[in-house]
Amino acid sequence: MTEELRKLTAENELLKKRVLQLETLITSSEIINSKFELHSVLNIIMSIVSQVMDSEASSILLMDKDRGQLYFFAAAGAKKEALNKVYLEKGEGIAGWVAEHSESVVVQDVSKDKRFTAKADKESGFVTKSILAVPMKIEDKLIGVAEAVNKKNGKEFTQDDIKLLSILTTNGALAVQKAQLFKDLNDLFLGSMRALSSAIDAKDPYTHGHSERVCDYALMIGDELGINNDEKTSLELAALLHDIGKIGVPERVLHKQGKLTEEEWVEMKKHPTIGADMLSSIKQLEKIIPGIRHHQERYDGQGYPSRLFGDTIPFYARIIAVADTFDAMTSNRPYRSKLPLTMAVKEIEMFRGSQFDPDCANAFIRGLTKRYDGKIPEDV
């Protein structure tokens, strides 16, 4: 009876382990298909590895193509900040050996293995005793190495651990591939949008490079306001395309050497609406269209096209309004010379709360001051 109970208990524990492993694989697959950015995805997977394998730490080292070295990209249970300083040559250490030979390896006692390097331990203060390391591949091309370190309670890594880490590493590799494909597509898309904005600027020789500069200032403001990476991408697009509606403005108005007449201003003031309407059918741009449509609004409600005021003006539009105005003031025009940077900054300060959102104006001034090491010059 006792023997039967022992067998049932062992079988029950094995079943629980298999269920946990299955749940882990499902969870990791869901994480990969989530909207988390790559760094977060791989850190979560490493946390899962440590939990399921009952290891003290785990990490993913990716291959730096330019340097031909491995570097720590994600980790759980170790000081990630310290590991950021560690690079391993291909063939250096156990992870380097795995990268060089593209084979999994288990070392139950690293003190007896000549391949072990204590480089990471010296930086992090962690003490490595045992390692399970597997290669991370995409279509037979090595992109990195995943490790589980120090099995708890004096236990050893098993064949089951190797299989599980290999599967989780495959999922990690899929996450890397997905992120790379997204980056490539995003770079292509941004490149196309930059080419389009350059084409707009080229219509008027006096605004050459205007959209790129507005984009630069807008992102500087965004950084000061602490926006996240997704918001930065949207802001970048909105700033690059804020003047796209000038395609619909007659060239006689765009190229006029003197000040515009009232009728000509009516034509010019149509460009935010024209631009927003042009892009309205592109689903990927729906987040940025309000920023384009309303970048000429004023904080006091005296702008156009909708006379919005305060926080009813879309966030990106409030940022672009500051960046756009500053670049216009510091650029030569047919009817006036550019203002010195210091004078343009004073204009931004003067019109905080009337023309500009005070938070965006203050963020711009902080960012520009930092850019010039605390003292904004007259001109550059």
Strand order in the sheet with 87-89: 87-89, 69-76, 55-64, 141-151, 131-138, 105-107
Helix (H, G, I), strand (E, B) or coil at 367: helix
pLDDT in tens, 278-331: 888 888 889 999 999 999 999 999 999 999 999 999 999 999 999 999 999 998
71: tokens are 């570097």
Indicate the CATH number of 203-371 among 1.10.3720.10, 1.10.3210.10, 1.10.150.20, 3.30.565.10.
1.10.3210.10
E strand residue ranges, the chain:
55-64, 69-76, 87-89, 105-107, 131-138, 141-151
Cα-based angle 65, 68, 73 (whole degrees, multiple of 5): 70
Residues making up the chain, counted from first to last: 380
108: tokens are 């139950």
pLDDT in tens, 210-226: 899 999 999 999 999 99
Using CA atoms, how far apart are residues 140 and 32, in angstroms rounded to an integer?
20
Indicate the CATH number of 2-180 among 3.30.450.40, 3.40.50.150, 1.20.140.10, 3.40.1000.10.
3.30.450.40
Residue carrying the six token digits 């389009």:
196
Flag whether pLDDT at 23 surpasses 60: no
Domain ranges of the chain: 2-180, 203-371
pTM beyond 0.95: no
pLDDT in tens, 269-284: 999 999 999 888 888 8
More confident residue, 198 or 280: 280
Helix (H, G, I), strand (E, B) or coil at 118: coil
Q: What's the alpha-carbon Rg for the chain, to the nearest Å? A: 28
Give yes or no for a contact between 253 and 204, defined as CB atoms under 8 angstroms apart.
no
